[in-house]
Structures are given as C-alpha cells and as structure tokens.
Structure 1
Amino acid sequence: MEQQKLPNSTLILIFGIVSIVLCCCYGVGVIFGIIALVMAGKATKVYKENPELYTGYKNVTTGKILSYIGIALGAVFLGYVIYMYATYGIEGMQQMNEERMRELGF
C-alpha cells in the first residue's frame, strides 16, 4: 500500500516556527504554540495507530519541539512585561520609551 503524508504535519511545523518568531508579540506566539501542540497530539495518535501508512512524522516532532520553545520564550517575555508594568507602571514605561526615542534621534 502506498504511504500518504501525515495530515497537518507541515502545518504543525509552520506553527512551531511561527510560535518562535512571534514569541515577543504579547502572547500571539504562545497561541500558535498551543495550537501546534494540540494538532501534533492528534497527528501523533493517528501515526501511532498505523505508522507504516504515513510519512512526515519528523515534521510533527520538530514542530512539537519548536512549539515548546516558542511557548517558553513567550512565557518569559510575558513575565518580563508583567514585571516591568508592575515595577514602573504605565507612565514609567512611557517615559522610558520617550527617553529611548530621544536618544535614538526620533
């Protein structure tokens, strides 16, 4: 019997990459990472039932790893942002940004 590509294997890999790229976008990367992990769980279950029928399982495992990394980086960034707002407040953050913009000549 001819092997077929595992459903959503490429999409899982893409979502894993996007979760890392967007990890500093206030939680967007975390959302993509979680979606990729859910899809990877379903794809893994399908693959484990009949591994000889499917190709592309390496994309799923790579996507899972990238999703974990993206979620971790996103969580660290969100923690940093929460810490900064709790420490300096909104006004303090705005002042810091204005000072940086002046230093850069904007």
Structure 2
Amino acid sequence: MEKQTLPNSTLILVFGILSIVGCCCYGLLGLIFAIVALVLAKKATALYTENPELYEGYNNVKTGKILAIIGLILSAIYLIFVIITFATVGMDGYQQMIEEMAREYQGGA
C-alpha cells in the first residue's frame, strides 16, 4: 500500500517558521501562528500514532512543533516586554525611546 502524506504536515512546518518570524510583530502574530501549529501538530501526531505505517511526513510535524514551541516562547517573552514597557513609560515614553534610538543610529553611521 502506498503511504500518504500526513494532513497539514507542511502547513505545520510553515506555521512553526512563521511563529518565530511573527514574534517581532509585538508578539501577537507569533502567538497566533504558534498556537495554530501546535493544535494541528497534536491532531497529526494522534493520526500518525494510530497507523504509523500508513503515513509519511512526520518529520515535518515534529520540526514544526519544535519551531512553534520556540516561537511561542519568544512571542510570549516579547509580548510581556511590550506590556511592561507600555505600563511603565506609556506610549509617549515608548515613542521617545524609539526616536532617541533612531537619532543615535543616524548619528553613529
């Protein structure tokens, strides 16, 4: 019998990668992609453990799950950092910090 590819195995891998990239968007996109990838990975893992001889592509699922966990952690850390920054200095203070960093970057180049 011919092996079938696990459903969503490539999508899990792509969402795992996007969760790491998305952590730079205030952590929100990374969290969304990571959670979706982990839910899909759980379903694919359950399907694979029932009949491992019928499916291939489990390596994509495992890799995507690991990347999603890393993306989830990075996104959560960055989101906590943003919340703490806004809570302590506010939006005006945050904009001033960005402007100062931009001036230092332009002056140093």
Q: TM-score, normalised by structure 1?
A: 0.94
CA separation in 1, counterparts of 2:47 and 2:53? Answer: 11
Mapped to 1, the partners of 2:86 and 2:101 lie a distance apart of: 17
- One-letter identity of the residue aligned with 2:24: C
Unaligned residue ranges in structure 1 (runs of 5+)? none
How much has 1:38 moved relative to structure 2?
0.6
Deviation beyond 4 Å, 4+ runs, structure 1: none
User: 3-state DSSP class of the match of 1:105?
Assistant: helix
Match of 2:82 in 1: 81
- Corresponding letter in the other structure for 1:24: C
**Aligned 1:10-29 pairs, distance under 5 A:** 10-26=10-26, 27-29=28-30
Partners of 1:46 and 1:105 lie apart in 2 by: 54
Give deviations 1:57-88, integer Å, cap 9, x for gaps.
Answer: 11101111110000000000001111111111
Deviations along 1:25-72, whole A, 9 cap, x unmatched? 121011000000111111111111111000011110111111000000
Aligned mates of 1:100, 1:20 — CA distance in 2: 24
Normalised by the length of structure 2, the TM-score is 0.91
Gaps spanning 5+ residues in structure 2: where? none
Q: Which residue of 1 aligns with 2:64?
A: 63
**2:95 aligns to what?**
94
**Structure 2 match to 1:7:** 7
Distance 1:24 1:58 in 2: 26
Letter in 1 for 2:33: F
Match of 2:35 in 1: 34
Amino acid at match of 2:95: Q
